Structure 1
Amino acid sequence: MRTLPHASSCLESTVVGSSTISVFITNLGKYNEGELVGEWLALPTTSEHVTQCLERIGIDGIQYEEFFLTDYESLVNGVSDYISEYSNLNELNYLASKLEELSNNDIEIYEAIIDIGGHVQSVADLINLVDNLDCFQCLWNVNDEYDLGYYWIEESGGYNLKELGNLANYFDYEKYGHDIALEQGGTFYSSGYVYHTGESFTEDYDGKYVPEKYCVLSNLNYLEN
């Protein structure tokens, strides 16, 4: 994430939407002239708010036509790692709108899945992940490797330690839980443990065409990679 330099020309933040994601939109022409002129925009938002924002930072379509993102943040942990100065504003608005659909519990699971790694490499993946949370199994209140081992031995019904008699007292739940977590590629988070069940993802969004209702720019007048 690029850190914003101090500049007297930097406009005050104008918060719109719910701030699921916030981006600092900067006038590229002014930036190249050595002047930082920009504004925070909270997503999801509307075309009207974006138009007003661009007007305030001097994007007039004549002298100044392009903008880019010099800073970005999200209330959902891990999301901002996949945003860059070249990110598509329509796509980010789509993602912010999808994140709003999630409950607090779903957000925790979503964050944990991002933390697992391997399932997200782009903003498009973040969007599709919202619709694929059922591909992951969550074990509530399983907070560490001991809990995980205990769950699979005592509560899942897959094993019967009673058959071992007194030897069961020497079973190492923590070590077994450690091996299970490695095998499943799972992760612990604030409410428990989550892992991928192996089910295939569905990818309704192809990373190219943002559904019209989420688009806030008719002309993509910003700097792209």
Structure 2
Amino acid sequence: MISAYIGNLGKYNEGILAVEPLRFPASTEEVQAVLSKIGVDGIRYEEVFIADYETNVAGLRNHLGEGESIDELNYLASLLDGLDNGQKAKYEAALSLGEYTGSVKDLINLTQNLDCYEFYPEVQNEEELGRYLIDECGALDVPEHIKDYFDYEAYGRDMFLNTTSDFAGGGYIENNGSPFMEHYDGEVPEEYQIFSYPDEPRHSILEALKQFREAPPPEHGKTAKAATHEER
């Protein structure tokens, strides 16, 4: 549900653009493969940035920045993958309210607090809202003989203006006043932690050190000649 274009920040600051896509949810091996391609080895280059995003969750891209945590993005994508179509539509609509969208932490908690919202699919305007609330939800008892004269639009407008709500995501979304619970406190569960530098560069350095230690000492004769030359 989320693809991020991962870049090498050190190279970018040197005027070199090294970027590769990574689709979430991802594995540690997939992260390491991307880091290898862009030259982030954890030694010379350690920092990454996110150049761009692609996602099939409407409105989500607007709330993701270039400095997001790879692990948090993986956790968010995993939670989004677990939503059914109705929950996904409600989540997209809730994003438009902008209440819990300031960070990936908020976006993660939003996936786990969808019961704080009422979502009416296909309700697109104030008149449709008024009719839905009265005819389907029984919000107001309108006698049958005056229904043809009742101003559903005015009623819908009054409800819209006096609630935290929006027409978005293919319907009408409203905060129902239930307490928003912080299920995620910023500590990514271990099973979603995937960021790891590639192993290969570290192995090559260890191998180089091993070869240096095992290399034979220089020949005595050449050392002696060098010393004689220095004495002159």
CA contact (8 A) 2:92 2:169 kept: no
Distance 2:35 2:71 in 1: 14
Q: Which of the residues 99, 110, 116 maps onto 1:118?
A: 99
User: 2:44 aligns to what?
Assistant: 63
Q: Counterparts of 1:190 and 1:82 in 2: how far apart (Å)?
A: 16
Matches within 5 A, 1:35-46: 35-46=16-27
TM-score normalised per structure 1: 0.80
- Write out aligned runs for 1:131-146 (5 A): 131-146=112-127
In 2, Cα distance between equivalents of 1:65 and 1:153:
59
Aligned to 2:210: none
Aligned to 1:192: 171
Shift of 1:191: 4.2
| 1:176 alignment partner in structure 2 | 155
Partner of 1:214: 192
In structure 1, the partner of 2:32 is 51
Structure holding more helix per residue: 2
Pair 1:116–1:61, CA change in 2 (3 A): closer
Work out the percentage of aligned pairs sharing the same amino acid: 46
Give the Å deviation of 1:155.
3.2
CA RMSD of superposed structures (Å)? 1.9
Hey, what's the Cα distance between the residues in 2 that align with 1:64 and 1:190? 41
Greater mean deviation of Cα atoms: 105-114 or 80-89: 80-89
Q: TM-score, normalising length from structure 2? A: 0.78
SS of equivalent residue, structure 1 residue 160:
coil
Aligned counterparts of 1:29 and 1:191: Cα–Cα separation in 2: 42
Tell which deviates more after alignment, 154-163 or 176-185: 154-163
CA distance in 1: counterparts of 2:149 and 2:15, whole angstroms: 69
Question: Is 1:24–2:5 an aligned residue pair?
Answer: yes
1:10 corresponds to: none
> Match for residue 155 of structure 1?
136
For 1:194, give the aligned amino acid: I
Could you list the runs of 5+ residues in structure 2 that have no partner in the other structure?
198-232
Shift of 1:175: 1.4
Distance apart, 1:138 and its partner CA: 2.1
Looking at structure 1, the residues matched to 49 and 171 of structure 2 have their Cα atoms a distance apart, in angstroms, of 39
Structure 1: 5+ residue stretches without partners: 1-19, 220-225
The number of residues matched between the two structures is 197
Q: CA deviation at 1:218?
A: 4.5
C-alpha distance in structure 2 between counterparts of 1:69 and 1:135, whole Å: 31
Task: Pick closer, same or farther for the CA change 1:158–1:68 going to 2, 3 Å.
Answer: closer
Task: Point out the structure with max Rg over C-alpha.
Answer: 2
SS in 2 for 1:201: coil
Looking at structure 2, the residues matched to 141 and 37 of structure 1 have their Cα atoms a distance apart, in angstroms, of: 44
